[in-house]
Amino acid sequence: MRTVKAEAITEALAKVAMNANYDIGSDMLKAFDEALAAEKSEAGKEVIRQIQENASIARRECVPYCQDTGFAVVFAEVGQDVHVEGNLTDAINAGIRKAYGEGYLRKSILNDPIQRKNTGDNTPAVIHYDVVPGDKIRLTYGAKGGGSENMSKQAMLKPADGLEGVKKFVIEAVSVGGANACPPLVIGVGIGGTFEKSCILSKKAAMRSPHHRNPDPFYAALEDELKDSLNKLGIGPMGLGGTVTVLGVNIETYPCHLVALPVAVNINCHADRHGEMEL
Amino acid sequence: MAEYSLKTPLSDGDVERLKIGDAVRLSGVIYTARDAAHKRMVEGLDKGQPLPFDIKGTLVYYVGPSPTKPGNVIGSAGPTTAYRMDPYAPRLMEIGMKGMIAKGKRSDAVKEAMKKHKVVYLGATGGAAALIAKCIKKCDIIAYEDLGPEAVRRLEVEDLPLIVVGDCHGGDLYIEGRKAWENKA
Ligand code: SF4
Name the residues of B annotated as catalytic. Answer: 38
Considering only alpha carbons, which residue of chain B is nearest residue A246?
Answer: B185
Closest Cα to residue A248, out of A177, A174, A191? Answer: A174
The verdict on A73 and A180 lying in the same domain is no
pLDDT at B152 over 90: yes
How many C-beta atoms surround the C-beta of residue A83 within 10 A? 9
Across the interface, whether the CB atoms of B134 and A182 are under 8 A apart is answered: no
Beta bridge partners of A142: A73, A274
How many C-beta atoms surround the C-beta of residue A56 within 10 A? 14
pLDDT at B4 over 90: yes
Which residues line the pocket of ligand 1, CB cutoff 6 A? A 66, 68, 145, 147-148, 181-182, 269, 271; B 78, 126-127
The verdict on A168 and A196 lying in the same domain is yes
Across the interface, whether the CB atoms of B127 and A69 are under 8 A apart is answered: no
Domain that holds residue A83: 2-20+65-144
Q: Which atom of ligand 1 is nearest to the CA of B126?
A: 4
Domain-by-domain residue ranges, chain B? 3-181
Task: Name the CATH architecture for the domain at B3-181.
Answer: Alpha-Beta Barrel (3.20)
d(CA A219, CA A155): 19
Positive or negative, the CA dihedral B36, B37, B38, B39 is positive
Across the interface, whether the CB atoms of A47 and B163 are under 8 A apart is answered: yes
Q: Looking at the domain assignment, is residue A56 inside a domain? A: no
The stretch B14-25 carries a mean pLDDT of 96
The verdict on A11 and A80 lying in the same domain is yes
- Specify the pLDDT at position B150: 87
ipTM field: 0.92
Considering only alpha carbons, which residue of chain B is nearest residue A242?
Answer: B181
Distance from CA of B64 to the nearest CA of A (A): 7
The verdict on A152 and A251 lying in the same domain is yes
Residues 181-210 of A with CB under 8 A from B: 182
Q: Looking at the domain assignment, is residue A111 inside a domain? A: yes
Pocket test for ligand 1, best of A47, A50, A66, A274 (most atoms within 8 A of CB): A66
| Cβ atoms B163, B2 nearer than 8 A | no
pLDDT in tens, B58-76: 999 999 999 999 999 999 9
- Specify the pLDDT at position B143: 95
Q: Looking at the domain assignment, is residue A169 inside a domain? A: yes
Strands (DSSP E) contained in B81-151 are 99-102, 120-123, 136-143
Give A-chain residues touching B147 at CB under 8 angstroms. none
- Specify the pLDDT at position A176: 96
- Specify the pLDDT at position B185: 87
d(CA A267, CA A147): 9
Q: Supply the DSSP symbol for A241.
A: S
For testing contact with chain B, the best of A151, A174, A240, A267 (most B CBs within 10 A) = A240
The verdict on A16 and A117 lying in the same domain is yes
Across the interface, whether the CB atoms of A43 and B103 are under 8 A apart is answered: no
Say if pTM beats, i.e. exceeds, 0.80: yes
CATH number (domain holding residue A119): 3.30.360
Distance from CA of B149 to the nearest CA of A (A): 9
The verdict on A84 and A159 lying in the same domain is no
Distance from CA of A130 to the nearest CA of B (A): 31
Distance A7 CA to ligand 1 centre (A): 31
The stretch B27-41 carries a mean pLDDT of 96
How many C-beta atoms surround the C-beta of residue A163 within 10 A? 11
Q: Supply the DSSP symbol for A64.
A: -
The verdict on A134 and A154 lying in the same domain is no
Residues 132-161 of B with CB under 8 A from A: 132-134, 148-149, 161
Q: Looking at the domain assignment, is residue A38 inside a domain? A: no
The verdict on A190 and A231 lying in the same domain is yes
The verdict on A15 and A96 lying in the same domain is yes
Closest by Cβ to A106, choosing from B66, B105, B185: B66
State whether residue B4 sits within 8 Å of chain A by CB: no
Q: Looking at the domain assignment, is residue A204 inside a domain? A: yes
Closest by Cβ to B75, choosing from A51, A67, A231: A67
- Which of A144, A177, A207 marks a domain boundary? A144
Give B-chain residues touching A147 at CB under 8 angstroms. 80-81, 126
d(CA A266, CA A27): 19
Q: Confidence band (pLDDT; 50, 70, 90) for B149?
A: confident
- Specify the pLDDT at position A116: 87
The verdict on A89 and A160 lying in the same domain is no
Closest Cα to residue A95, out of A152, A199, A16? Answer: A16
State whether residue B81 sits within 8 Å of chain A by CB: yes
DSSP string, chain A: -EEEEHHHHHHHHHHHHHHHHH---HHHHHHHHHHHHH---HHHHHHHHHHHHHHHHHHHHT--SSS---EEEEEEEEETTEEEES-HHHHHHHHHHHHHHHTT-----BS-TTT--B-SS-PPPEEEEEEESSS-EEEEEEEE-HHHHTT-EEEEE-GGGHHHHHHHHHHHHHHHHGGGG-SSEEEEEEEESSHHHHHHHHHHHHTS-TT---SSHHHHHHHHHHHHHHHTT---GGGSS-S-SEEEEEEEEE---TT-EEEEEEEE-S--EEEEEE-
Number of structural domains chain A divides into: 2
- Specify the pLDDT at position B148: 81
| Cβ atoms B36, B44 nearer than 8 A | no
State whether residue A70 sits within 8 Å of chain B by CB: no
Distance A151 CA to ligand 1 centre (A): 11
Distance from CA of B148 to the nearest CA of A (A): 10
- Which of A144, A176, A203 marks a domain boundary? A144
- Which of A144, A172, A187 marks a domain boundary? A144
Across the interface, whether the CB atoms of B66 and A67 are under 8 A apart is answered: yes
The verdict on A206 and A108 lying in the same domain is no
Task: Give me the tens of pLDDT residue by residue for chain A, a chain 279 residues long.
Answer: 899 999 999 999 999 999 999 999 999 999 999 999 999 999 999 999 999 999 999 999 999 999 999 999 999 999 999 999 999 999 999 999 999 999 999 999 999 999 988 899 999 999 999 999 999 999 999 999 999 999 999 999 999 999 999 999 999 999 999 999 999 999 999 999 999 999 999 999 999 999 999 999 999 999 999 999 999 999 999 999 999 999 999 999 999 999 999 999 999 999 999 999 999
DSSP string, B73-87: SSS--PBPBGGGGTT
The stretch B142-153 carries a mean pLDDT of 90
- Specify the pLDDT at position A24: 97
Residue whose Cα lies nearest atom 3 of ligand 1: it is: B127
Q: Looking at the domain assignment, is residue A94 inside a domain? A: yes
The verdict on A176 and A267 lying in the same domain is yes
Q: Looking at the domain assignment, is residue A128 inside a domain? A: yes
